[in-house]
Amino acid sequence: MFKGLYVAMVTPFKAGKVDLDALAKLTDSLVEAGCDGLVPAGCTGEAATLTADERREVTRTVIEAASHRCKVVPGTGTNNTTDSIGHSRTAEELGADGVMLITPYYNKPGPEGQYRHFKAVAEAVRIPVILYNVPGRTGVNMMPETVWRLAEVANIKAIKEASGSLDQVSAILSRCDITVLSGDDSLTLPMLALGAKGVISVAGNVAPREMVRILEKFAMGDLEGARQAHYVLLPLFKALFAETNPAPVKKACEILGVCSGELRLPMVPVKQETEAVLREVLRRMGRL
């Protein structure tokens, strides 16, 4: 159901407001580049600083601009189960192909709390659910045992696994058939080797065709080609996480003229050194 390249989209801002025109143009360009799916209003989309109305408009804009040419799976998870249900129902009403639910942050629930949270949200909607495990942001890891239990919930179909642990990916896939999607661009290739089906990518905002190449080469059994495509992108992967995401990718988007690099506090623009590295990486890739 979920496979290939999904892009964790940035949210363009202009003078403090969501730039819906730029968002629609970004959506169209990503679809044309061959993306299988788009994930607006996630961590990369600065969802934590979006109002409920802004989340709705971001989701609506991407769905309309994508126009059924690829899947749209907005981030609807928060650390509040009731709010997560509300955002998820809104996404379903707007025609989303699924929703992505981050592990509750700040509260840091244990395995039983995580299980009940995700199960409650999944059962409140009819569309498929992608779990999102990113302990570096949430402060809590979703253990394989919890994923195994959640995989039994009918519409929980996938997990964006961003723990950084290949052992954890192996453990998940050894005991259930949930779809695993890489949540770390630089770990996409090794995760594919373990059985992952794709990636929800930050780099895809600025290098979607190059990300597609890794997946296509691997699918064709061209492992050397996949490795070389990975090596080409490795400097970009490093540069995009030289500072807290999404500040670097927003700057890269600005450099390439995709949208403004405007962020919302508490996020601030990258340092000059990071911008210089980004420019050099994009130049070497032939993008400048």
Residue 132: active-site member: yes
Residue 231: active-site member: no
Mutual angle of helices 223-240 and 272-284, in 10-degree steps: 160
> Looking at 6, 105, 115, 132, which residue is catalytic?
132
**In angstroms, how far is the first alpha carbon of the chain from the final one?**
36
Nearest to 172 by CA among 214, 133, 215: 133
> Looking at 71, 105, 157, 160, which residue is catalytic?
160
Report the alpha-carbon distance of residue 100 to residue 179 in Å, rounded.
13
Report the alpha-carbon distance of residue 140 to residue 179 in Å, rounded.
21
Nearest to 197 by CA among 48, 56, 1: 1
Neighbouring C-alpha atoms within 13 Å toward the C-beta of 93: 10
The answer to whether 227 and 212 are in contact (CB under 8 A) is: no
* Catalytic residue numbers, as ranges: 132, 160
